[in-house]
Copies of this chain bind each other. A is one copy, B any other.
Amino acid sequence: MVEIHAKPGDSVRIRLAKREIDGILLESPDSSVVLLKVESGYNIGIAKENVLALRILKKYIEPVLPSLPLPSQNLPAIGLVITGGTIASKLDAKTGGVKPLTSVQEFTRFYPELFQLARVKAIENPFMILSESMSSEHWITIAQCVKKLLDDPEIQGVIVMHGTDTLHYTGAALSFFLKNLNKPVVLTYAQRSIDRASSDARLNLQCAVQMALSECAEVVLVGHANLDDEYCQALRATKVRKMHSSRRDAFQPINTDALAHVWPDKITFYGTYRKRHSGMCELDDAFSDTTALVKFYPGQHPDILDFYALKYKGIVLEMTGLGHVAASDSAQNWIPSLKKHIKNGLIVCGAAQTLYGRLDPLVYSNGRDLAETGIIFLEDMLPETALVKLGWVLGHYGWKKHVREKMLSNIAGEFGERLVA
């Protein structure tokens, strides 16, 4: 068996019986397996006994960071909120994983380009976590940081750097929390950490700056428009979803089009958007965590509703097709259980598990029966946006009798155009 003389972090070429593989050698938890990070970004494991030869292409050297450039006083000012995620992480060459940038200082050194496009007047760094671990307290904290930066008259726009996993939830939350928004609030991300050759972080951040300095006073998500490293798309944060686990264009607009295409030096807008104004933004971050998201599947027992009705005030039900769950022609008829719980006060909102398209429960007889239970059918609103909005609506005690009306009002672009006269 060949001896593995390379060290974790080294670029190596491995020869197998039928082909060669290039990659970065990782620390392997299993001594009989050689672990490689390949250019596509995946880790692959190869049984050591299959390795015929290993050649070091390049020894690993801890990268030397450029010194921090002095921000120019003549550039327009922006504010940054750094929350963690890959865009604020670097590769750990030994494990092949990524670890957070530990200081704002380190962060500014990783993104020198940013400091040539705008003057970063203030940085808020309330926490450093991966976005799958966020919850509503984090959304509220981020909104408070954004509000603080927006209130600075010098700051033209705010960029929020965030993990990708639940970025669309945070975007929806900021869309509802920031009332009368006066300047751009731009969420951005990276799917691959900044010290990897294939990183998407630089372009995303450069385009985010363009957007933050634009006339568009909306909460938008800016990220790669495709697999090329040329331009980004700006997406309204209530109508976007992470649609791929690893691609740099993971975020896609759902039931709408991109609001703009953004290059590092220009923007092309499509359609209408809310304009920058001189008023003040208000923070409206009342929120109730007594909500849940339930995805219906065939054969599912309606007793899941009993579980949620015990502790929760409202649920978003991901329904099939035009807005269905198992009905009277099924052994697991959901209609009596829905009727009972809704009558007893549980708010049940319906969203489409197809993601694309609009609910229209009146087309089929099952849907018409369901409409009579009191479900609030949320048209073309995304289930993720619906969950955030429901928590926000239920967080307002004064809206207790107006939940249906509030859920069906278009507050932050969460509904697309409807065919109603």
Contact = CB atoms under 8 A, between A and B. Distances in A.
Contact of A245 (B46, B164, B359): B359
Contacts of A359: 245
Contact of A43 (B129, B131, B136, B363): B363
A342 interface: no
A44 to B, nearest CB: 5
Interface in A238-294: 242-247, 250, 289, 292-294
Interface stretch (A61-69, A93-101, A226-234): A93-101
A110 B135 CA distance: 53
A292 B298 contact: no
Given A357-B247, A419-B40, A130 B164 contact: no
A360 interface: yes
B320 A132 contact: yes
B299 A293 contact: no
A397 interface: no
B242 A363 contact: no
A325 interface: yes
A324 B165 contact: yes
Question: What range describes how many residues of A lie at the interface?
Answer: 35 or more
A362 interface: yes
A359 B130 CA distance: 16
Interface stretch (A118-126, A141-149, A205-213, A326-334): A326-334
Interface string A311-328: 000000011111111111
A416 interface: no
Contacts of A134: 298-299, 330
Given A297-B387, A327-B133, A365-B99, A321 B360 contact: no
Nearest to A135: B299
Contact of A165 (B245, B247, B321, B332): B321
Contacts of A368: 95, 97
A169 interface: yes
Best-surrounded residue of A299, A320, A364 (most CB of chain B within 10 A): A299
Nearest to A133: B330
Contacts of A320: 131-132, 165-166, 242
A242 B321 contact: yes
A407 interface: no
B356 A298 contact: no
A297 B169 contact: yes
A303 to B, nearest CB: 9
A358 interface: yes
Contacts of A299: 134-136, 289
A135 B97 contact: no
A410 interface: no
Contacts of A420: 44-46
A80 interface: no
A399 interface: no
Contact of A364 (B130, B243, B324, B387): B130
B421 A44 contact: yes
Given A46-B421, A133-B330, A244-B356, 18 more contacts: A21-B421, A38-B419, A41-B363, A42-B358, A42-B360, A97-B364, A130-B324, A130-B365, A131-B298, A132-B325, A136-B299, A166-B320, A242-B354, A245-B322, A246-B358, A289-B299, A293-B295, A304-B307
30 contacts: A21-B421, A42-B360, A42-B419, A43-B360, A47-B421, A96-B362, A97-B362, A97-B364, A98-B363, A129-B329, A132-B298, A133-B328, A133-B330, A133-B366, A134-B330, A135-B298, A135-B330, A135-B331, A165-B324, A166-B320, A242-B354, A243-B355, A245-B323, A245-B356, A246-B322, A246-B357, A246-B358, A292-B300, A297-B384, A304-B307
The 7 closest A-B pairs by CB, nearest first: A245-B357, A135-B299, A133-B330, A165-B320, A132-B324, A165-B321, A244-B356
